[in-house]
Structure 1
């Protein structure tokens, strides 16, 4: 989730874009999303949505805009500075307040866990545990948390008013959170009863149109809840890539005779494609730290492989991050180095309907977790 401000202009040729799939625009399970400049006005390739939260069991509600949609994390996390409601604190069995340290690739979020009714589209989940980031009453970040990475507890450091994690797992702390109460479960997160959860809880679809080689100032799309639960979220003929226990699949880059990266993932919260290391053809930028700056747009291909044997070769382009049009904030060719894995960030989503199926939830292709498109 890096912020980058482009400057100047550029041209591109020889690129290969996917065809845009139909995007759902109506339905009780359709939440509008947009790739735009974000709350600070300088976020490239961030996909945002408004989220409504309420004091549990009441009509005392607040809608918070500028929340980043992230298929690579789990749960709702909101900046304290964006929340005006007084929400009930989650506590342990002994009455001790619960707080959480959540780690991301570029920082950590620290703050208490509180309960809220969460409304997305026309659906509502009741008494959901959410993290309130940067709560001044929890200002002392434990060293065991801050030592992992830099805290992202303000709008300037997070560059969003919150994060809506819609990844393929039910909990964000693994098997420990799935243990029965009293058997080692820390009580940080709770699985809500089926009577209080929306029916469209088998997964989500991120639907975004394609963007041209020059990028776009903004693009609008949809976050569709459920897979195979409504007429507008059928899996159909989408290719299904099952995942390992860590939520990863394999990428072979380059597609022909390349290196295998078994810990690859698809992540709408990453604003670029992150792979490989800098080379003379694909040098690192001097100013736009963490991104590639080739002298001209380069075209590549890589093969994605699921645990189920499904494979597909994906063509993509990488442009000079320092030559991006400063009036645009949606790009399908922004990329940077990552030597240990292949992170298919937001550029992969443009022109595709990308399904994220939640673990153990039934679909026509079997239970999740899997990605499909």
Structure 2
């Protein structure tokens, strides 16, 4: 295992990010989707150059050279990494992935409209829908052999009334770690085409697919591309979310113009450091990413094995992507709820399943994007707390 991914608890606690500052110093945080590893060398070098130049002013606005370079680098990465030929002119820069989703909700739905999303799913989806005055319309996911997939009959039923304009498709899926197969993507695409639904594909975890090949939703066929807006960022896989930089890839000129019609003040809030880090990550971070994949796969297997020994009644998803483990604690009586119990009795903070949708009660999301040493300390604490429950 590369030393790059071995960090001790004392070093991690010096960090000032949300993950390490939300709870007291005696709590091990395995909650928010943030890894604990040093940056990829290519990113570190690029940012060091910015420090050396004191280059932290306002980012350029279109059509300046930096944006042209950014769009070209994103398109080249998608081609190399995901076999997706992206027109650089269809790439728009956003502050982050969620701002891209908010733009889509604002542009393609009206107040009071339903917006379809899976249950469970990344919780800011629901927040964005409700804050925009729209209604979340939940479609359940179903578990089979520790893998979660969309209930396609329920998705068809949600689309059937004809009043749905937008589906938020988290692919790869957060929190379950599912990488949707070609058949699954095609089935979803067929329903979207049949019912004339625009799909916003949140593919921010795409570069973290290590046990299956991610298929960009817009590549299913030209017809689905014309109704797909892809929201993504390098910051999830390369771990620099605080630099605030994401992007949208529109499936055709019509969708691109809709995105561009958003006032520029709502699109230009990405940071210059985020621009530069993205260019560095996509331009020179591929080998680091492969090493990360190996570490995450090893940590996933290690944590799943430990949890099986700690509590045999736990049902744990087997993620094909990312560093998030969706765990079912419903057979264990932990009052008042599993997240609170483990935080107060084990000193380990996990994300409560309640945040991820109506079906999430009794579930926890565990972040294993850290070192074996930190994970083992957290798992030892959980084992001791359960032994005393």
Give the TM-score normalised by structure 1: 0.33
**Which is helix-richer, 1 or 2?**
2
